[in-house]
Chain A
């Protein structure tokens, strides 16, 4: 078993290292989507308050296969969901990630997406809300191998800070060895729209409810890609509960 990581490592620089040591060692879960198959996966990280959790997924999406992966990361004092995704020729990977970090929580989504064959697509949408003195982090690395021509990779990260003491970190990282690739990324950190808040309140919606409504709307971007209506409703309901 390898030793616990230190803060010197780029992928752990925003982590709560004491909590990481508590959660160590980590046994990665392997997921393989066979050629031509479509798979979905929902990971809910809702560990008990105060706990430290690291969930690592080592994923292979074979040629022409696709995986839609969704994460709701909201539990424990420290909670990390890590994905190491390998995409073969023509594969597709969609990630919708939600982080709701309150109090003193440190919550992270860390991904490495490897485009090792030509014509693979990856789409990552991560939305997070941080309140109190919480820290929400998204680190997203896209690695395109020499064989990864016509890679199409996109990452979108948006964070909403509810309180002055809250922190959001986003770090997209590209490592590209092919020349014909499309890699897009965007990251924004903001606050709730005051005009929208006033609009809701002026119609009779109390401030707490108005904030929850706007926050949920903001997060729903990351859940919009859940194809199954029932699963999406369940995910939306879970997020609504977190914001209540």
Chain B
């Protein structure tokens, strides 16, 4: 589903991704772990198409098409979802308005019919209930006045409504207490299906107890230095990244 080959990317002329190769098949969950500054968030932004991140070599293919040739909104419509490490606050735009605009924009771009008000409301209510976010909060401005945990739940509400094929979740677990972690993990697990894939970027092995990945990759200095099964996360937790990088 997602093929990243020898990806090099830079910010302000500084190389951050340095020959990253990764294949994610349909139905799979891959975890990417790595020390601070390794380039995990950069990878997620490059996949989502954020301005300022320049790909200098390599390729990214998603469902057979050149992902890097698409604008960010086209990538979303193609099925890529980025759960942000730091979700943005948008004063004056309600969560519902944001989410409905997003859903319908994606559908329009895919040549599908827009969701009616009633259909959208049903989706949003169900998602909010599943993720333990009071529906009333969705009437407020996007993420404004939300706690760290509420922002992450809100990202998962958006994911549940948008139903992406590929979810790239950047430290969705950080800042969550144990109850919230469970709720968010359930949300991620609900999305698992043979025709979807997930890239879980995380710092901690903790999340991987709830969302058990098929593969664990270690990202250091812009490339994957090691790949293993779920047990690799435990090794990292015990020994740290230094032993791997050495």
Bound CA–CA A200/B158 (angstroms):
12
Write the chain B residue with the least CB distance to A194: B51
Does B101 lie at the interface of the complex (its beta carbon under 8 Å from any beta carbon of A)? yes
Number of contacting residues on A, CB 8 A? 23
Per-position 1/0 for B98-111, Cβ under 8 A of A: 11011101100100
A interface: dominant SS = helix
Point out the residue from B49, B51, B90, B106 that lies within 8 Å of A199, measured CB to CB: B90
| Set of chain A residues within 8 Å of B99, measured between Cβ atoms | 203
**B88 touches which one: A195, A206, A220 (CB < 8 A)?**
A195
Q: Is the CB of B98 within 8 A of A203?
A: yes
What 0/1 pattern do residues 148 to 160 of A give for CB contact below 8 A with B? 0000000000000
Bound together, the chains give a CA A210 to CA B102 distance in angstroms of: 10
Q: Which residues of A contact B49 (CB under 8 A)?
A: 201-202
A204 touches B48 (CB 8 A): no
For A199, give the chain B residue with the smallest CB separation.
B88
**In chain B, what residue has the closest Cβ to A215?**
B92
The interface bits of chain B over 7-20 (1 if a CB of A lies within 8 angstroms of the residue's CB, else 0) are: 00000000000000
Min CB–CB distance B45 → chain A (angstroms)? 8
Choose among B76, B91, B92 the residue that contacts A204 (Cβ–Cβ < 8 A). B76
Interface assignment of B228: CB less than 8 Å from any CB of chain A: no
Q: Is the CB of B102 within 8 A of A204?
A: yes
- Whole-angstrom CA separation of A200 from B118 in the bound complex: 22
Considering the complex, give the chain B residue whose CB is closest to the CB of A219: B92
Which residue of A198, A210, A214 has the most chain B CB atoms within 10 A of its CB atom? A198
B77 at the A interface (CB under 8 A):
yes
Q: Which of A194, A204, A213, A217 has the largest count of B CB atoms less than 10 A from its CB?
A: A204
- Whether B93 contacts A207 by the Cβ 8 Å rule is no
A196 at the B interface (CB under 8 A): yes
Are A207 and B91 in contact, with the CB atoms below 8 A? no
> Least Cβ distance of A226 to chain B in Å?
15
Which residues from chain B contact A205 at a C-beta distance below 8 Å?
A: 73, 101-102, 105
Contact A204 B90 (CB under 8 A): no
Contact present for A198 and B50 (CB under 8 Å) = yes
B87-A204 in contact (CB<8A): no
Chain A residues positioned under 8 Å from B106 (CB to CB): 203-204
B72 CB-CB contact with A under 8 Å: yes
- Listed in ascending order, the chain A residues whose CB lies under 8 Å from chain B are 193-196, 198-207, 209-210, 213-214, 216-218, 220-221
For this complex, 5 residue pairs linking A to B, each with C-beta atoms less than 8 Å apart, are A198-B48, A201-B71, A206-B71, A207-B73, A214-B90
Leading 8 A-B pairs by shortest Cβ distance: A217-B92, A204-B76, A203-B102, A204-B106, A201-B72, A199-B88, A204-B105, A217-B93
